[in-house]
Structure 1
Amino acid sequence: MISRKRINRRTFVAGAGATAAAAVMPWGPASVIAPAASAAGGRLIPPGKTGTITYTQRDVPTRVGIAASAALGVAPTMGYLGGPDFPNDPTDLGPLVPLPGGWRELLEFLAKAGFKQIEFAGYGQNAANPGGAAPNPAPGGVVTAASRAAYIAYANTLRGFLDEFDLEAIGNHGFIPNTWPGPSSAGGVMTINDYERFQLELEFASVLGMPYMGTGSDPTSANNRNIEPWTVAGEKWDALNRLSTQWGIQLYPHNHAPAYHFLQDGPMVTVTQDRVTGAPIAPTVVRGESGKRLMQHYLDVTDPALCVVEMDVFWAHVAQHQHRWRYDWEGNRVEDIFDPMATVAKQTKRYALFHAKDGDRTADPVGVGNGYNMVPFGDPRSDIDYQGFMSGMGAKGFHNPNYEQDNAPGGSADPGQSLRFSIISANGMSNLRG
């Protein structure tokens, strides 16, 4: 059982809230999303588990917000956040209004939209916003007493913003060290700089109250599908989790489609068919594949009491589209279709987090392209069966799904788009029934 100890907040920076005097925001109670009365069955995503990763709204922390614009005497960024029929009518953009910027205003907006959990994608923001710029935790790669103090003070400021709007930090895509205590690490040890930076990041996460801390990457490069580096990755993440769980925090890698390609774990074989089309090719020597996927091997070689992962459900479906054929240990081309829901169901608590990213099926032939385009969660164009996925994977209420949409920001042409898509997606998550 993992201890969930937390740093208490007696050291909270007293001025954290005062640095951001309450601004009159252009959104109000009408922005709060209520479940559709006609939805049948219970919520598949409990209210306390409705999350988002801030990569989706990555344009918001970096711009000068409403309060900072007023303090500086400059015009705020203007955009559309939806009219009276939004989000039921996503084309009802409403009037031009000042747009939030920085962490405090973004977190307020997300809370009013109906989100409860926040997965950070880094901690930086525009320095003009309440709380200021994120300090460098390790100048030149070295943690100093001054850098640690500034970094933890900033953590207390962010925690103050989260508490103000009754939000929970569920994770972060951030620093994972390259070295670790283990025979496959350089010299079998963790470098002192990696250790001190890792401990500081864990302390930061603990101040925010995170039960998980992660990365946006695979446990090792999926460009190398040989079994050996994936076995070493298991050693590394086991060792790092033994350190992180001393803080009550579990580490998680993220994944995209390549992580669900086939592990190359067999003998060298000669193949004569194209993997995707089955067309004849010149005899080619490759390494045989048993049918195990890369991420499954990672789970098989890591401690189930320590190591969890975050599945990106969109990219798992892209993997189903792309990685459909393998070469067996005799060199035969074999169809072997990936099933994301069944993969989670057989080890459901190893998949503690999800990126709840929705997709519209394209006309790409099987094995060609991604097969899906990203859309807001619950968009009518969706072709990913989230109802079946969330109701069939077991341990209802345990998982932490975080809405993500890589293409949400609208740039200068539509700077309010990522926020409108967030409202649509919070609505879609709250209305998912099963």
Structure 2
Amino acid sequence: MSRNIPMDPELAHRLTRRGMLGVAAGATAAALLGAAATPAMATTPADAAAARRSRPVLPPGRLGIQLYSLRDKVASLGFAPVFAELEKYGYDEVEFAGYTQGTGGPISLAQLKRLARDHGLKPIGSHVGYSSDDPNAYTFAQNLTQVLDDAEALGLPHIGTASGPGRYGNTVDAWKRAAEEFNTYGAAAKARGMKFYQHNHSDEFGFATDDPKVRLYDVLLAETDPDLVFLEMDVFWAYAGQFRFSKRPDGTPAPFEPLDYVLDQPHRYPLFHVKDGVSDPSNQFGYRMVDVGDGDIDYQRFISAVSRLRGERPAHHWQAEHDNPTESFTFARRSSAYLHALRETC
């Protein structure tokens, strides 16, 4: 469904800052999408190249938002006004970070599912805690059946956690133990027709305390069943991990490229968090988080590389996020406009 995606007045400038020259200041993201929907017939190699350049980087129908970014609005206004805004901004999907709406009052899962559908939004996933000391906590470890019941009621194709796998510590064996639990959750989710996933922060890219040659993220990948456990790469935190852990504890180089993990195993990464950062070596993470399009993470390159994957063309979904936006509706609007306006350049 074509949507009227509002253009941020600063969008042309933001695109130019990233090297996206050729987007006129008066163009709108909706117009760009419309142009891509009906390309001219390519009759020469030059025409074919121009047609490729006109393609949007973002796959159609795959832009979502992690509702944690809008938790202030969900708590103060409720889901209905938030979903109405997201519909206006051109979002296709939402990822939950809880199913309550503060002063908006009680809402059932059936009502929440219907509300999202009424605003053209597909619930794509949800974050739930991994474990807790409370035996009755709403987590995978303590309450797996209820977590999956709720995800099934919402029609979620993915259900996951943003908790790190360090429940038992950060040794190799501790992460192997956590990986086995993730395999259990993945098998239970698969039996319900869903995919279980884990969302990274930067610590996952650190090294095992008992073997500093081993990167913990590699343990997670190796010890989880690729048919049962999937990954949601938070691109900001992956690059923060690259900054923090490019050397082993003894100082020897250990560089890695987050995009390579995806290109090596694309089917393991159905979901991504699109959050941006300005490079800042004085910051412990190497970046200061900003609205999508205002930072230095090259999403034109990253999303293009993933979207060009061939073979079975795995479905990838892109969730805009900011942990603490200055104004959450403004963040959502600007992020959508920026991502919809990114174009192929080669």
For the aligned pair, the TM-score class normalised by the smaller chain equals: 0.7 to 0.9
- After TM superposition, list the pairs within 5 Å mapping 1:306-325 onto structure 2: 306-325=228-247
Q: Following the alignment from structure 2 to structure 1, what is the Cα–Cα distance between the partners of residues 221 and 329?
A: 35
User: What is the SS of the residue equivalent to 2:68?
Assistant: coil
Q: Offset of 1:30 from its aligned partner? A: 6.9
List runs of 5+ in structure 2 lacking aligned partners.
Answer: 8-28, 37-52
Paired AA for residue 333 in structure 2: I
- After TM superposition, list the pairs within 5 Å mapping 1:124-163 onto structure 2: 124-127=100-103, 129=104, 132-133=105-106, 154-163=108-117
Q: Deviations over 1:67-106 (max 9, x none)?
A: xxxxxxxxxxxxxxxxxxxxxxxxxxxxxxxxxx210110
Greater share of residues in helix: 2
Per the alignment, residue 234 of structure 1 pairs with 179
Counterpart contact for 1:178–1:194, Cα < 8 Å:
no
Q: TM-score, normalised by structure 1?
A: 0.63
Equivalent residue in structure 2 for 1:165, among 107, 116, 119:
119
Counterpart contact for 1:319–1:338, Cα < 8 Å:
no
Q: Following the alignment from structure 1 to structure 2, what is the Cα–Cα distance between the partners of residues 30 and 121?
A: 25
CA RMSD of aligned residues (A): 2.8
Equivalent residue in structure 2 for 1:370, among 285, 295, 305:
285
Q: Deviations over 1:145-182 (max 9, x none)?
A: xxxxxxxxx11010110111121101111244569xxx
Equivalent residue in structure 2 for 1:360, among 278, 282, 285:
278
Q: Following the alignment from structure 2 to structure 1, what is the Cα–Cα distance between the partners of residues 270 and 197?
A: 9
User: What is the SS of the residue equivalent to 1:253?
Assistant: strand
Per the alignment, residue 147 of structure 1 pairs with none
* Structure 1 range deviating more: 390-399 or 158-167: 390-399
Per the alignment, residue 273 of structure 1 pairs with none
Counterpart contact for 1:175–1:198, Cα < 8 Å:
no
Equivalent residue in structure 2 for 1:432, among 339, 342, 346:
342
Percent of residue pairs identical: 31
User: Is 2:245 the counterpart of 1:245?
Assistant: no
- After TM superposition, list the pairs within 5 Å mapping 1:238-387 onto structure 2: 238-264=183-209, 287-290=210-213, 292-327=214-249, 333-364=251-282, 369-379=284-294, 382-387=295-300
Q: Following the alignment from structure 2 to structure 1, what is the Cα–Cα distance between the partners of residues 171 and 265?
A: 23
List runs of 5+ in structure 1 lacking aligned partners.
Answer: 1-27, 64-100, 135-153, 180-190, 265-286, 411-416
Higher Cα radius of gyration: 1
Per the alignment, residue 164 of structure 2 pairs with 218
Equivalent residue in structure 2 for 1:205, among 118, 134, 151:
151
User: What is the SS of the residue equivalent to 1:334?
Assistant: coil
Q: Offset of 1:121 from its aligned partner? A: 0.8
Q: Following the alignment from structure 1 to structure 2, what is the Cα–Cα distance between the partners of residues 194 and 307?
A: 13
Q: Following the alignment from structure 2 to structure 1, what is the Cα–Cα distance between the partners of residues 5 and 187?
A: 46
User: Is 2:80 the counterpart of 1:104?
Assistant: yes
User: Is 2:71 the counterpart of 1:58?
Assistant: yes
Q: Following the alignment from structure 1 to structure 2, what is the Cα–Cα distance between the partners of residues 350 and 244?
A: 15
Q: Offset of 1:263 from its aligned partner? A: 3.1
Per the alignment, residue 404 of structure 1 pairs with 321
Q: TM-score, normalised by structure 2?
A: 0.78
User: What is the SS of the residue equivalent to 2:166?
Assistant: coil
Q: Offset of 1:194 from its aligned partner? A: 7.2
Q: For this pair of structures, how many residues does the alignment match?
A: 297
Q: Offset of 1:344 from its aligned partner? A: 1.4
Change (3 A) 1:263 1:43: farther
Equivalent residue in structure 2 for 1:120, among 96, 101, 104:
96
Q: Offset of 1:336 from its aligned partner? A: 1.2
Counterpart contact for 1:51–1:118, Cα < 8 Å:
yes
Change (3 A) 1:46 1:397: farther
Paired AA for residue 293 in structure 2: G
Q: Offset of 1:293 from its aligned partner? A: 2.2
Q: Deviations over 1:361-418 (max 9, x none)?
A: 1142xxx611111111122xx211112212224356621110000121x4xxxxxx21
Q: Following the alignment from structure 2 to structure 1, what is the Cα–Cα distance between the partners of residues 196 and 337?
A: 29
Counterpart contact for 2:6–2:337, Cα < 8 Å:
no
* Structure 1 range deviating more: 30-39 or 395-404: 30-39
Q: Following the alignment from structure 2 to structure 1, what is the Cα–Cα distance between the partners of residues 78 and 261?
A: 38
Counterpart contact for 2:63–2:318, Cα < 8 Å:
yes
Change (3 A) 1:59 1:195: closer
Q: Following the alignment from structure 2 to structure 1, what is the Cα–Cα distance between the partners of residues 224 and 273?
A: 22
User: What is the SS of the residue equivalent to 1:42?
Assistant: coil
User: What is the SS of the residue equivalent to 1:295?
Assistant: helix
Q: Offset of 1:201 from its aligned partner? A: 2.2
